[in-house]
Structure formats: C-alpha cells, structure tokens
Amino acid sequence: MTGWREIADGVLIRRYAELDLTVGLVVGAEQALVVDTRGDHVQGAELAAAVRQVTPLPWQIAITHGHFDHCFGTAAFLPAPVWAHERCALHLRRTAEDQRAEWIEHYRHEAPETAEALRTTTVISPDRLVGDRAELDLGGRTARLLHLGPGHTDHDLVVAAGDVVFAGDLVEQGAPPDFSDARPEHWPSTLDNLLDLRPSVVVPGHGDPVGPDFVRSQRAEIAAAVELCRAGPPEGDLLARSPFPEATTRAVLRSMNVGRFPDIH
C-alpha cells in the first residue's frame, strides 16, 4: 500500500492507508516536484525519505489545497519552494488551528501518536503563490500548476505533467467527494476545465488513479446533487434521488449556502 508506483515516465504516485491519501512525484532531469506532503511532520518526514529513495535531485513542493492531510507535512521538506494557489495561504492562516484541533480530537483515541504528531507540527505557509497558472521547468520536462476554478475548495491547484493530471480533491475515488469547504455550483465547470486538458490519467487526492470517463461521471453526480439542492433542503424522494449518501447531500446543501458569496469566480 505504501510503495511508489510509476504511472508514466518519471511520474510516480504513493498511496497511504491513512485516509486513502494519494501523493505524487514528478522527476525531471534537474529537479523533482512533490505533490502534497501528507498530514503531519512525522508523515512528512516519511514521505521525504521515500522521495529520497527515488531521486537525489533538489525538490520543489506543490500543495493542491490547504486541508491538513495534503499539506501539514511540508516542514519536513524545507528549505524548498512551496507552491500553492494564492488563496491557500489565506485558508491556512484562517483554518490551520481549527483543522489541527479537529483532527487531534479525531485521532486522540484510535491513534494517539498521530494526535501527538499533529500537535507538534509546524504548519508551513506556501511561499510561491499562484494566481491562475505557473510553469515549473524541472529539466527536460515542465510541470504546469493550474487553478481551473473553485470546486473542492476556493483554491484548488492541479498539477499537469504530460498527460497525467494530479487533481487533488477535485476528484475522489473510493468515496464521495468532500464538500466541507466546497463551492459546489462551480465544481462541475472546474472539472470541465480539467477534462479540457485531455488527461489520460487523473490522480485523485484520495484513491486510485482514474481516467477521464470517471471524472465525467463524478462531474455529473456533483451537478445532479447541486441541482437537487438548488431549491432548498431536499427531503424524502429528492434525497433518495441524490447520487450521494444523505450526509454528503446535506454537505452539498450546506456549502452551497455558505458559499453564496458574490466575489467567487
């Protein structure tokens, strides 16, 4: 479960049992790009050591979004450039301590050592902020960092390396998408933009790599849930027609109302 898998030339993924997290690595001739850093300083150090078994090259870090499981491991990679969407830094400033407290509580009994690692983690703010796009020359290959619109959060950043796209939690395999900080009404068009990149492989933030057909069907599910929730709280039959379990549908509804700010683009 925790080994590397090379899914294209110099493009690797690594999956973890914990939260079914999937992280990535793109290796050029001169530099490597690590996509997401896991959820605390111990997990980050494990990943950094694992990257070092693949390549001795200097690394840069790309954070897909500011949820703890994708970025609280960053300190283990410093010094290094840390790329993220510009609103990711703001999200971390606003929410990092709440995320820490919530997940310490979550792990307190079942995994006290993880709770302790979270408690002692230094949360690193990204220092290379991306508006819509950036290109990283890794030597003989380019990685593109793209903000394709809001979706799972208001600051999702995808990493395109050849025809592989690391989607962060814009795509989730093996579980319904997470809507806790989502912009559900924008999510389908953001996935259209992702599909316009014509990827042959899409790496989700959780689960197994998928193809464009999977993304298309997840896009349709999200659009259907948004439609159901547009008229207000779906009950009874409406709830039963949702493609998602009840708790997820209710999260869609909640985030549609929280997310109704005029300045979202």
Q: Which residues make up the interface to Zn ion (CB under 5 A)? A: 67, 169
- Helices 41-54 and 112-119 sit at what angle, rounded to 10 degrees? 90
Q: Do β-strands 158-161 and 142-146 pair in parallel, antiparallel, or remain unpaired?
A: antiparallel
**Which pair of structure tokens corresponds to residue 185?**
């009404």
Nearer to Zn ion, 138 or 165 (CB): 165
Asked if residues 164 and 197 have their Cβ atoms less than 8 Å apart, the reply is no
Residue 82 phi, psi dihedral angles, 5° rounding = -120, 110
Between CA 170 and CA 219 the distance in angstroms is 10
Nearer to Zn ion, 49 or 101 (CB): 101
Beta carbon of residue 181, minimum distance to Zn ion (angstroms, whole number): 7
Beta carbon of residue 169, minimum distance to Zn ion (angstroms, whole number): 4
Nearer to Zn ion, 14 or 67 (CB): 67
Beta carbon of residue 29, minimum distance to Zn ion (angstroms, whole number): 32
Beta carbon of residue 56, minimum distance to Zn ion (angstroms, whole number): 31
CA 224 to chain centre: 22
Beta carbon of residue 19, minimum distance to Zn ion (angstroms, whole number): 10
Nearer to Zn ion, 36 or 185 (CB): 36
Beta carbon of residue 6, minimum distance to Zn ion (angstroms, whole number): 25
Nearer to Zn ion, 67 or 141 (CB): 67
Asked if residues 207 and 177 have their Cβ atoms less than 8 Å apart, the reply is no
Cβ within 8 Å of residue 195, ≥6 positions away: 212, 215, 216, 219
Beta carbon of residue 142, minimum distance to Zn ion (angstroms, whole number): 26
Tell me the helices (H) and strands (E) count for the chain, helix number first: 8, 12
Beta carbon of residue 178, minimum distance to Zn ion (angstroms, whole number): 6
The CA distances from residue 142 to 11, 118, 163, 213, in Å, are 12, 33, 12, 25
Residue appearing with tokens 């971390």: 92
Residue appearing with tokens 């030339």: 9
Nearer to Zn ion, 154 or 169 (CB): 169
Give the dihedral sign, CA 175/165/84/141. Answer: positive
Nearest one of 86, 96, 252 to 183, comparing CA atoms: 252
Nearer to Zn ion, 15 or 67 (CB): 67
Nearer to Zn ion, 141 or 152 (CB): 152
